[in-house]
Homo-oligomer: A and B are copies of this chain.
Amino acid sequence: MQTELTADVEPIRFHGQTDGTLDLIDQTLLPVELTLITCRDVETVWEAIKLLRVRGAPAIGIAAAYGVVIGMQTVGDDDAAAFWKRLDEVTDYLAGSRPTAVNLFWALDRMKRVAHQLRDSGTSITDIRIALLEEAKAIHAEDRETCRAIGRHGATALAGASNFLTHCNAGGLATADYGTALAVFFTLQDDGKDLHVFVDETRPLLQGARLTAWELAQRKIRATLICDSMAAQVMREGRVEAIVTGADRIAANGDSANKIGTYSLAVLAKAHGIPFYIAAPISTFDMAIESGDEIPIEERAAEEITHGFGRQTAPAGINVYNPAFDVTPAELIAGIITERGVISPVTRELVAQMFAAK
């Protein structure tokens, strides 16, 4: 089934007041179907996170925060003991949906802290419930602002370029709003620029083909899908002025871990004289890590490569190497675009300076 692409679909949208509902795009059905899941109970939110219907660190945090609001709807305002018992239940339950998602715990902790602080100051259950919804909305709004600020700084830095290439999905689907790398393109479009983006399909899980291509099409940005191995060719053809990707973790010296294939792009960009940018929020920096050498590379299941499309495409028993990430050394990065500004050149000193800035 082909869905109609419209620009006004938000990946996460809460409707109503404390008795409201949460709509999520089911990302597992993209790009073939655009289906909204309406969450009326916490179990549906939990399942959406667990089954990757909502994915991307910021988006998971936001969905979980709204999930707390929805989870509290099963208890009334008149039974305080039941309310506090339920709050622990709901937050523990949601925390188990993706046990390695840092943003999930961060958002749940923030929700609990707000409720506990108000309890200590004697606020009514009714008002605490309102405060929880406000907190979830604040988490949502802050992420939206971060995305918009990344987009603004990136669009200023790249105002001279119209032809881009990106990898994986660093878009709105993973966040509240504009995403990180894609925020730069969305903002350039908002500025009236006619741009074109080459989208790496991003093997093995095809986030570029499935999600980034979909997001760009939805916003009517001209985009061309390529296989990862074609990126060098389009660079050689002079059709790329800048490359922008997201990052999963950035060391104190600026070395950046991102989806496998990013390092390849950065090396190819240098060979073709094309600037390579990372776009990521300040929360991506792990200042406890001195350099990329300390970032462990997660290896994923061989089946993602050998059976990635529901069909066996390699001999049974073949040895497979499937690193989920690679690390791009700072010296290959022209700039790191954050919500506070662009770090360029990427040096330990300038990273520290931006991290300390407000």
Interface of A is mostly: mixed
Q: Are B201 and A305 in contact (CB under 8 A)?
A: yes
Are the CB atoms of B311 and A223 closer together than 8 Å?
no
A30 to chain B, nearest CB (A): 8
Residue A355 at the chain B interface, CB threshold 8 Å: no
- Across the interface, which residues of B come within 8 angstroms of A310, CB to CB? 309-311
Q: Does A346 contact B (CB under 8 A)?
A: no
Q: What are the interface flags for A239-269 relative to B under an 8 Å C-beta threshold, 1 for contact and 0 otherwise?
A: 0000000000000000000001101100110
Q: Are A234 and B321 in contact (CB-based, < 8 A)? A: yes
Question: In the complex the two chains form, is A320's CB within 8 Å of B268's CB?
Answer: no
Tell me if B312 and A309 are in contact (CB < 8 A). no
Of all chain B residues, which has the CB nearest A228? B229
Task: From known contacts A225-B320, A227-B204, infer whether A232 and B270 are also in contact, taking CB-CB under 8 Å.
Answer: no
Indicate whether A284 reaches chain B with its CB closer than 8 angstroms.
Answer: no
Measured CB to CB, the closest approach of chain B to A310, in angstroms, equals: 6
A311–B32 alpha-carbon span in the complex (Å) = 10
Within 8 A of B (CB), among A121-152: none
How many of chain A's residues touch chain B, expressed as a range?
35 or more
Given the known inter-chain contacts A313-B309, A319-B222, please indicate yes or no for A229 contacting B209, CB distance below 8 A. Answer: no
Which stretch from A92-100, A180-188, A210-218 is at the chain B interface?
A: A210-218
**A273 within 8 A of partner (CB):** no
> From residue A273, how far is it (CB to closest CB) to chain B in Å?
12
Complex interface: chain B residues within 8 A of A213 (CB):
314-315, 318
Distance to closest chain B CB from A257 (angstroms): 12
Q: State in angstroms the CA–CA spacing of A270 and B89 once bound together.
A: 57
Most buried by B among A231, A313, A316: A313
- Would you call A291 an interface residue if the criterion is a C-beta within 8 Å of the partner chain's C-beta atoms? no
Q: Which of B222, B227, B267, B319 contacts A228 (CB 8 A)?
A: B227
Whether A203 contacts B206 in the complex (CB less than 8 A), given A310-B311, A321-B224, comes out as no
In the complex, A166 has a CB within 8 A of chain B: no
Return A200 CB to nearest CB of chain B, in Å. 7
**A260 / chain B contacts, CB cutoff of 8 Å:** 227, 229-230, 233
Closest B residue, CB atoms, query A30:
B315
Alpha-carbon gap, A138 to B188, bound state (A): 64
**Which B residues touch A31, using CB under 8 A?**
312-316
CA distance A217 to B264 in the complex (A): 27
**Pick the contact of A305 from B2, B214, B225, B264 — CB < 8 Å?**
B225
Q: Give the docked Cα–Cα distance between A108 and B301 (Å).
A: 47
Q: Residue on B with the closest CB to A320?
A: B225
CB-CB under 8 A from A321, the residues of chain B are 198, 224-226, 230, 234
In the complex, what's the smallest C-beta–C-beta distance from A199 to chain B, in angstroms? Answer: 8
A25–chain B nearest beta-carbon distance, Å? 13
Min CB gap A283→B, angstroms = 26
Cβ of A315 to closest chain B Cβ, rounded Å = 4
From A5, A206, A233, residue with most partner B Cβ within 10 Å: A233
**Is the beta-carbon distance between A261 and B230 smaller than 8 angstroms?**
yes
Instruction: Let me know if A315 and B230 touch, CB within 8 A.
Output: no
Closest chain B CB from A206 CB (angstroms): 5
* A113 at interface, CB cutoff 8 A: no
25 contacts between A and B (CB under 8 A): A5-B315, A31-B314, A31-B315, A201-B313, A201-B314, A223-B318, A224-B321, A225-B318, A226-B322, A227-B261, A227-B305, A228-B229, A230-B264, A230-B323, A230-B326, A232-B263, A232-B326, A264-B264, A267-B267, A268-B268, A270-B271, A271-B271, A308-B309, A309-B313, A310-B311
